Every structure is written in structure tokens, then in C-alpha cells.
A and B are shown apart, each in its own frame.
Chain A
Amino acid sequence: MTNKPSKADKNHLPLGGVIPKGGTAHDYSTGGWRKLTPSVDKSKCTNCMICWVMCPDSAIIVEDAKMIGFDLEHCKGCGICAVECPDKISAIKMEEDKS
């Protein structure tokens, strides 16, 4: 998807910069901003949810009260989750993309 409105769209931008519907952040892919990618060692993770609280992009995926990974479509690779993961646990690491 493209982040820039087309020329035709520009003529129909909602007045006053209003974004006239909800959930548009979901459509905006920020994964491409990422240099380092988080990875989690689930054998160490205690599901304390601190990463889920602290992630500025809501990119921690949780299912059935368990942290199961990252939404890499939106994760910008900021590394906050790795820093906030308690020192005694250190379940999250930031790594260069393998590709």
C-alpha cells in the first residue's frame, strides 16, 4: 500500500484534516521503518505483559493471555520491548533482519 494520497484524493481531503473513520492506523504499514527486529525466547518469557503495555505501536500479539510474538507489519523496531523485558528474564532480543 502507498502512504501518499493520489492527486485525485488530494482534492477530496476531509476539511480541517479530520480523519473521518476509525482504525486507519491499522492500514498504515510502518513495518518498513524497521532496522532491528525483535525476537522472543518463549522458554524464558513469563507473560508479564510489560512489553505489551510499553509497545508504542501495539505490535505485541497476545492470545489467550499469552504473549505469542510481534506484529511485524506495524513494529518499527524501536526496541522498547527488549529494554522493558525484565533484566532477570531477558526474553526479547533485537536482531538484524535475516533476509
Chain B
Amino acid sequence: MAITGTKGATGLTGNTAIAYAMKQINPDVAPVYPITPSTGIVEDFSSYVADGAVDTELITVESEHSAMSACIGACAAGARVMTATSSQGLALMWEMLYIASGMRLPIVLTDVNRALSAPINIHCDHSDSMGARDSGWIQIYSETVQEAYDNLFMAVRIAEHEHVLLPAMVCMDGFITSHAIENINLIGDDSVREFVGEYKPAHSLLDTGNPITYGAMTLPDTYITFKHQQSKAMAAAKDVAVEISAEFGRKFGRNYGLFDAYRLADAEAAIVILNSAAGTSKVAVDELRKQGKKVGLLRPRLFRPFPFEEITGALKHLKAVAVLDRVDSMNAFGGPLFNEVRSALYDLEKRPKVMSRIYGLGGRDYKVADAVGAFEEVLKAAATGRVETLQKYITL
């Protein structure tokens, strides 16, 4: 899509917007191995590299495992590093994801959410990023093209913050967001440069005057201490995310925060849902509100760290909640978002009824009618105080 640089408002696909954000950030190194549906990011960004629009060293590797390995090496060398992937690509990075976070390397990755095989499927669900949810990466989810673009800048700041120093993953829905053209307001190059600033690493492997070691072995006498440090940094990332999001809002007028609460304050029944399907659900909220039904929606943006206190605060007044996951944990007890939300509400003396609904796997369409159907079940639970079916698949 042509970028009309002169205008603030233009129309871009999610992939083009992310590639453009990467161009504006101008990372030092980008190790890449394209995979559907995130290929467009790598295609567009490699054009920027070829045209000399960025100073980035683009490393074409032979697998995603190597892509993440190269990210780790480059970041340990002191570079600002970005990459993008999807599905099997993220799965193949798996062991390296833990090394990136354990070494406290603020790599920023865009995950264009796609189902995991088998059966093979290129379409959207959240199996890939949810599989990596405990890998020590910050995860930020995006409803729209605009939000994915904005999140990338915030991700850089949060990841590199001195209280955090952890890798971060920005997630958006494959095809639904990655391949759809939507209205987007672009930020000027100078403003981006000013916002993301320059990455100043504490250590660099290339600093031969101060030789250091990355990746040394630790024994039981220290390993747990490093993990404790990492855990505290992840907890700190929440406050940093609030702070960076507020700064972003002041500068660019788009306020995000930890989650998006839609007509929730006076609601009795609500849906909790991630990414693009939240938009479709909001249309259902509006329809049901017109019928006088007190429904609302909560869309977590920051999933790692999981802001359990804030989310509990936002949901505690409700009578019933349905948590919709675009992934199954295969634990026979609902999806990952359901498990987090339900656990967060446990300490309340009077807590809402919570049910799990799995939807939209492998790109199955989630329509307004599906959201309305889910709301009807939550409303019933709110009215009766009883959950008929704790967990089930919808959009089957």
C-alpha cells in the first residue's frame, strides 16, 4: 500500500504499518525468516533496507531458531534488535525465547497470530503467542492496525526500560489485522525518534575494552536468584507500561493503558476478549445496550505481565463474565485468558460467575451474532447466579 507520507491519516494493512514503524524506529539489526501471515512485514522492511531508508543490518537466516539466536547475539552485542514471525516460526524459536528473556535482552518481536499445526492452518488464532506466554516475554495485544503500530513504539520503550530489560512481543491477528487495510494516523519520523530515543545497553560484547561473558552456566547457588530478578522485572513492567502508555497518550493523543474497558462501569455482564474480536464484540455490546441490557467488555492489552489487580478491580462489580479465548490450553479447563481472569477474581469475597468460551480457532469467523450469543449466556448467569456450562467451544 502506498504510504501518503504527507498526510497524518492514511490506510495501511497491519503488516505494512508494522514495517513502517520498524523503519521509523530504525533498529540496528533485524534477523528475519519470513512466514505467513507476517511475511509482509519482512518484505516491506527489506525494501526499506535495500533502499537505504534505514541503517539496519538485515540478517537472512535459515530458520526462526536461527533468527532468534541472531537476535540474541546482536542484542548482547549492544544492538537494538527487532524481528517478526508467526505460528510455527514462534514455536521454532521457543527455546531461544527463554534465553532472550533470561539474558535480559530487550528484543522486540511482532507476532502475527496464527494457528499452530496440526492440522496445518495459516489463519488466525492465538495458539502461537499463548504457547510462549510463560517464556518471560512481555506480551502486548492489539485490536486494530493503529494499535499494533502504536504498540510497537511502546514495546521498545517498555522492553528497554532500566527497571525492565526484558524482550517484548506485540501481537496482532493474522489476516484479520495483518492483511486488512484500515485507517491509521502515522506519527512523524522526528516524533518517533524522540519517543523511542537511543538504546543505551549496559553491556556490549563488542566493547573489547571491557570484556564480558553472556550465557555462563549457573549452579543451584545462583540460578534461582537470576530468575527472581527476572520475575521482579516482569512485575515492574506493569508500572512501566502504565507510565509509557501515559506518555504516549500525552504526546500523540491516543490513550491505551493496561486494558480497554468498554461500557463496563455500569455493566452487570461482560465479555473478556483479546485483539480484533473485541471490536466485533463491541458492536454486539452496542446492540444489546439499545435493548436495555447492561453489558460491557474488557479487552486486556498487556497480557504479560498480567495486571491481575487492575483487572480484578475492573470486573469485581459484575455478576457474570465470559472469558473468550482464541486458543485452547488443552488442559480440559478452559483457555489461558480464562484461567488468568478466573484466578485473579478468586480473592474477592463476592465474585462474578466466570465461564470459558473457546472461539475462532484456525481463523473460524467470529461474528456479531456469536458475541451476542455469548452475552446472552452471561446475562442468564447474571440473572440466575448460576453458570450452566462452565466451558465450551463456540463458533463451531
Query: Which residues of A come within 8 Å of B, CB atoms?
Result: 4-5, 10, 13, 15-24
Contacts and interface: CB of A to CB of B under 8 A. Distances in A.
Given A5-B222, A10-B222, A22-B211, A17 B202 contact: no
A17 to B, nearest CB: 5
Interface of B: 102-105, 165, 202-203, 210-216, 218, 221-222, 225-226, 229, 233
Nearest to B224: A10
Nearest to A24: B213
B266 to A, nearest CB: 45
A22 B221 contact: no
B203 A18 contact: yes
Contacts of A23: 211
B213 A18 contact: yes
A75 B210 CA distance: 27
Contact of A13 (B105, B202, B210, B225): B225
Nearest to B213: A19
B227 to A, nearest CB: 10
A16 B211 contact: no
A18 B212 contact: yes
Give the interface centre of A10, A15, A20, A24 by most chain B CB atoms within 10 Å. A15
Given A16-B102, A17-B214, 15 more contacts: A10-B222, A15-B226, A15-B233, A16-B103, A16-B104, A16-B165, A16-B226, A17-B102, A17-B103, A17-B216, A18-B103, A19-B213, A21-B210, A23-B211, A24-B213
B229 A13 contact: yes
B222 A13 contact: yes
Contacts of A13: 222, 225-226, 229
Give the interface centre of A4, A15, A17, A19 by most chain B CB atoms within 10 Å. A17
Nearest to B100: A16
A4 B225 CA distance: 13
Contacts of A16: 102-105, 165, 214, 226
A23 B104 CA distance: 23
Q: Which 6 A-B pairs have the closest CB atoms?
A: A22-B211, A16-B104, A19-B213, A16-B103, A15-B104, A10-B225
Contacts of B225: 10, 13
22 contacts: A4-B221, A5-B222, A13-B226, A13-B229, A15-B104, A15-B202, A15-B226, A15-B229, A16-B102, A16-B104, A17-B102, A17-B218, A17-B226, A18-B104, A18-B203, A19-B216, A20-B203, A20-B210, A20-B212, A21-B210, A21-B211, A23-B211
Give the interface centre of A4, A5, A19, A21 by most chain B CB atoms within 10 Å. A19
Nearest to B102: A16
A17 B202 CA distance: 13
Contacts of A10: 222, 225
Nearest to A3: B221
A51 to B, nearest CB: 26
A20 B215 CA distance: 12
Contact of A15 (B165, B211, B215, B221): B165
A47 B210 CA distance: 34
A18 B213 CA distance: 6
